[in-house]
Chain A
Amino acid sequence: MTSLLGKDLVGLERLTREQITAILDTAEPFKEVSERPIKKVPALRGKTIVNLFFEASTRTRISFEFAEKRLSADTVNVQSAGSSVSKGETLVDTARNLEAMRIDMVVIRHGASGAASFLGDRIRSNVINAGDGKHEHPTQGLLDLLTLRDRFGSLEGLKVCIVGDVLHSRVARSNIWGLRHMGAEVGVCGPATLVPRDIEALGVTVFRRVEEAIQWADALNVLRLQLERMQGGFIPSLREYNRVFGITTEKLTRAPKDLLILHPGPMNRGVEIDSDVADGEHSVILPQVTNGVAVRMAVLYLLAGGAPDWATSGADK
């Protein structure tokens, strides 16, 4: 059965506007499921899903697990530390073993770019990318889109600036593709050492100074600064990073309008974002987390072959 999204969700680059819209629309009724006293619908009853996490993750893994459980799927979590992966098994052997156990879906988080498509090309089960290296993190991109759509009504013409370590960020890439497909304008801003040279080829505007980005944008998506970037020689110090690129109330007060603030988490308070901004009235960092479960339910449901218009009736059951 071919779903509306194809077999796998590897990234947003190759999705169409219609497919993204279908996911976001499907997520709407699933939001409500999580508000019920009994947070469960039978949409994926009898399906088995493996959450295959080769990299540490708390939020994404828990979010997927809730999404799966609220759809009544049977789930198994595999962490690299506790599996044969740590004994040196190759990804292709892991894939074959999973296939042999007749599972329906795999959610994979892996440190190597391309790992999700590698797996998807080799097994019949649906594969969902929960973050592969520096490539994409499509469900994060989708939950960001949903959160922006919730606040602004439409993404068309919206100006969103991604601030921080774009070079190493899969969240940045998924956001760029998703926002561009939906007709938004995308800016990126960060130290030149952390903004790829060729980024404009992806149809984005580069801002060298965060003050300029703040003048331009309707919303800022503030990326986590990996602390090891300092050892890598990309920035001289966290203190200077905060001073030049950190999102602070002081910088935001000079904006011509109130900017919506997103952050994929986990935050380094006082580095890329100040606490009063993160906890402030324009922050949607917690609604992003809430939307994450709904978007992941939508993706799982659609990949399993569910039709967008069943979602409402399925949710009503």
Chain B
Amino acid sequence: MNKVQERPLVLRGGRVIDPTQQLDDIRDVVIIDGVIDGIGQGQGTPDGARVIDATGHVVAPGLIDVHVHLREPGQEDRETIATGAASAVAGGFSSICAMPNTDPVVDNQGTVGFVKSRGEAAGLARVFPIGCISLGQRGEQLAEFGEMVAAGAVAVSDDGHPVMSSHLMRTALEYARTFGIPVADHCEDTPLASGGAMHEGVVSLRLGLKGIPAAAEEIHVARDCILADLTGGHVHLCHMSTRGSVSLIRRAKELGLAVTAEAAPHHFSLTHERCEGYDTNAKMNPPLREAEDRDAIRAALADGTIDCIATDHAPHHYDAKEREFDDAPNGIIGLETALSLALRELVRPGLLSLSTLIERMSCAPARLWHLPGGSLRTGTVADVVVFDPDAEWTVDPGRFRSKSRNTPWAGEVLPGRVLRTLVGGRIVFEA
């Protein structure tokens, strides 16, 4: 990234949490030439170093989000790669993986290269492109995984469009093995979910909205696990939302299948009752489910059945959400609220330790998707987040770095303030 020689940096006296070293203690972190030089107690200060007092704060590997929508190319009124990356670092993320459902879609080495170079030009979070599974996300012909990986793609996905053809999913999983990349699937049986605006249940019944049954997700989760078994390929299940999906994944993991999964903050925080009053900021796909589903997602994040937290950051122009529920687009932005929601919904109730949270938001995505960072071991790139888990802040969408404002948490007081985000040893965000 930035080749300008940075001064050495010392993050002094913070609570350093690094699950890759089973570390959770007060330490100094020394960064030289963009990599972790060492972690110790009372370390000497290198010549010319900038010393930052981290007393009372958490110092951890920078957060990594494997599922964001940056809207560039094509929908720059909602977000650009630069504003998305700015939003990411403000939320403590040092790396983000950009879904390919832009306009045009990212289904060849040219567009992969475009996304990567725009990310580098922004110089904020690392931006890793995800290529399409199929050309044009049409679900017919495989895209050129090899060319896209050579240009910088770290995974493939037709996110937003379920892969309805089991044959295509099978060949994608087989072919992806050559390149060691995960195939990330948006699990949804299209005919079963067709026209649905929210979770099918008593709330959809009362509101008169067409529901999406949990089965629409679970059928594809089951299929993908079976195909992972058939092919030995790595299937990554996007934005899991139902208790049935959790038990299917648990079973797949017991069988030792190469299945990994993510859950979004809204699915461990909110339930379908949030759609009352036709609040379009509660409209997403997969939809907000029932309390039992939310609780199963929380438990799965606690025990590792679900490997990581990913935001599914989905910017929309405010006009687009200001309309009839049926016609409003799906999704909310998530990068700047994810850590706070995880602290409020998972850590404060005692479901996850802070260390496990860092595992789910940094170490696991780095390890499973073969991304840099996710650790503070000596010699690792110095992607670091410093945050105060106890400081509270009020969500003011007008102050988001993201270009969009579509959040259901406007006005809420959340715990956890990101103070600094470092990428390659460079401070790219400072509160």
Contact = CB atoms under 8 A, between A and B. Distances in A.
A56 interface: no
B208 A136 contact: yes
B323 A114 contact: no
A136 B205 CA distance: 11
B122 interface: no
A115 B208 CA distance: 11
Interface stretch (B87-95, B324-332, B422-430): B324-332
Interface stretch (A127-135, A149-157, A258-266): A127-135
Contacts of B319: 90
Interface residues of B, number: 18
B48 interface: no
Given A114-B278, A117-B277, A117-B278, A91 B205 contact: no
A92 B278 CA distance: 14
Q: Chain A CB within 10 Å — which of B202, B205, B209, B324 has the most?
A: B324
Contacts of A173: 206, 208
Interface in A232-279: none
A30 B280 CA distance: 40
B207 interface: yes
A198 interface: yes
B309 to A, nearest CB: 30
Contacts of A197: 200
B201 A114 contact: no
B323 A92 contact: yes
Contacts of A199: 205
B202 A198 contact: yes
Nearest to A173: B208
Contacts of A198: 201-202, 205
A133 B208 contact: yes
B206 A202 contact: yes
Contacts of B201: 198
A117 B201 CA distance: 21
Contacts of A135: 207-209
A19 interface: no
B324 A91 contact: yes
Interface in A200-256: 201-202
A113 B326 contact: yes
A112 interface: yes
A201 B205 contact: yes
B322 interface: yes
A31 to B, nearest CB: 30
- Interface footprint category on A: 20 to 34
B322 A113 contact: no
B323 A113 contact: no
A13 interface: yes
Contacts of B200: 197
Nearest to A121: B277
A92 B322 contact: yes
Contact of B205 (A117, A170, A196): A196
A207 B170 CA distance: 44
Contacts of A112: 324-327
A310 interface: no
A180 interface: no
Interface in B176-217: 200-202, 205-210
B317 to A, nearest CB: 12
Nearest to B200: A197
Interface in A86-140: 90-92, 110, 112-115, 117-118, 132-136
Interface of A: 13, 90-92, 110, 112-115, 117-118, 132-136, 170, 173, 196-199, 201-202
8 contacts: A112-B327, A114-B208, A114-B278, A117-B277, A170-B208, A198-B202, A199-B205, A201-B205
Considering the complex of A and B, which 3 residue pairs feature the smallest CB-CB distances, nearest first?
A: A135-B208, A114-B278, A134-B208
Interface of B: 200-202, 205-210, 277-278, 319, 322-327
Given A90-B319, A170-B208, A201-B202, 8 more contacts: A92-B323, A112-B327, A117-B277, A118-B278, A132-B208, A133-B209, A134-B208, A197-B200
